Chains A and B, each alone.
Chain A
Amino acid sequence: MFNLFLLQLLNGAQFGILLFLVAAGLTLVFGIMDFINLAHGVLYMVGGYVMAMMMGMTGNFWLSLAMVLPMTLAVGLVLELLVFRRLYDRSHLDQVLATFGLVLVLSELVRILWGSAPLSVAMPEVLAGSVPLAGPMRYPVYRLAVIGTGLAVALSLWFVIARTRVGMLLRAGAANRAMVSALGADINRLFMLVFAAGAMLAGFAGAIVSPILSVDPGMGDGILILTFVVIVIGGVGSVKGAFCAALLVGIVDTLGRMFGPIILRTMMDPAAAAQAGRTIAPMLVYILMAAVLFWRPAGLFGRAVAR
């Protein structure tokens, strides 16, 4: 039982790390520009597809992964230039309309280019094995590598945000955009940078997850909504909050699906427990989010700002 718990805990952490990679860029876009971007999940999907395409062309995992970064960065920059830049000063509703349209456009483009069938990406041989976990259980190296990579990204993000000039402007921008702008910082260029970097991180997440999950046109949708949950639980604009909330959501979701029915079985008869478990497990993260917002309306690490 303990081994199973450990295994699921690692799976949850790995899922949480992925959520964090997607959420990190989005929470800054949300926080600094007060901008609702529904198209962020699509960038995650684009990352997966670019990875699959590069793997098909080169056959080399590391080369493909290295190519994904500039390409998703470019996609982010193009989108920012063509669409997002014109929407900063508009209402949330116009932003929803435009980015919802972008979701449709980009998902359909992906369908036209690569078809609707899921694509798979081969795992690099170095990371294909598994290592012994407690007892007879083994854990795939690749998933551990994903966790390690995510932690490294989180650490470097923390460094950029807490220790550099750009990071200082970001923190200031999240707190009071107008003031930063009045003090002479080019807030629009800053946002372009944040947006492109966020797109790159989301694309990177899509690329590294592609050997574990398959790449399909619907992959962006599911992660988008969970990313919103992460951002709101963590507090809009807070990367630290996003990190904690992503791990929390990843672990709660994974453990809930596994252990929810087991715990319920101690309280009611097995058939009812199975049904109730199936019903409650996917709702858990949303219940968590509603509960967090009930007690802390601005999220765990968010500042209560009057908007």
Chain B
Amino acid sequence: MNKRNYRSRFILTFFLSACLAIFVMYLSVTNGTFDITALEVIRTLLGLDSASDHTLVIFEFRLPRILIGAMVGFALGIAGTVLQGLTRNPLADPGILGIHAAAGLSIVIYMFVVKEAIKSAGWLSVLNMTFFGWIGGVAATAFLILFSRQQGRVNPRMLILVGIALNSGFSALTLYISLKMNPQDFEMATVWMSGSIYSASWAQITAILPWIICFVPILIWRSSILNVLQLDEISTMGIGVNLERERRILLICSVALVSASVAVSGSIGFVGLIAPHIARRLVSIHYQYSLPISGMIGMLMVLTGDFIGKTIFSPAELPAGIVIAIIGVPYFVYLLARSR
């Protein structure tokens, strides 16, 4: 295949996944506790429908939830691809590596210290939460690299194991702190941590949006460097890439995306693991193509997971994170079987 071919394939895949995403969004906006027809949805969106319950349901409940799901999925898909490329490890996933747990911990600490944060949930406090999550995520990555280094090299499987250990450590600390909260805050914190998006609000959308607008373009712009990073270190330096600097930039950007999504939706695992693999299958290994596609696949996964979680289990709801974990684990085992 030549370059042109890859390009047309990329455009086609992007288009198809966008269509699918829109279809799932349509399903989730029309189905729910009570069904709304497509025409009513359009009328409500355009402000022509005067029925106040439609406006309420769509604008306050369904639309924020769909948008959050789409953005979180997109961010996780992109961050997962970058992390897998950086670590040259097909098993890397921000959830398994403990970045989710670390971001969660620092957000819970923030919630505990600034108690009004959860009650008012104004956009400023949500923005603060994402920032705290970022600090936690960066700290976790530093630990991760520090502990998994053996003789100057990062052993891929060791990385996963250190991640799992960090994960349970941070989760235990989070549990400890959240048990010290008063019962009401505790309930909110647990709902948030389980990886659900049913408490989505416009405030959260304004909190995650700047992170996506800032960091996604940077990552896409630098995606060609990820291609180079797949070579061994000596050839990379030969090409004239400042290895450490590029790595650090990519790492900080991707952790920022992960933390922002953890701050709004809790820990939704396995998206960052699976989306990159599917994307690579669909459009070659070239990161400038697979990166955006991976974002689209992540978006589709979270939207579908959330849709399944809320329809099959109604009236109760299953967090999207759990639905995706059930689907994701067999795939992870499959990857483990293939990797050497």
**A and B together in one complex:** no
On A, residues with C-beta under 8 Å from B are none
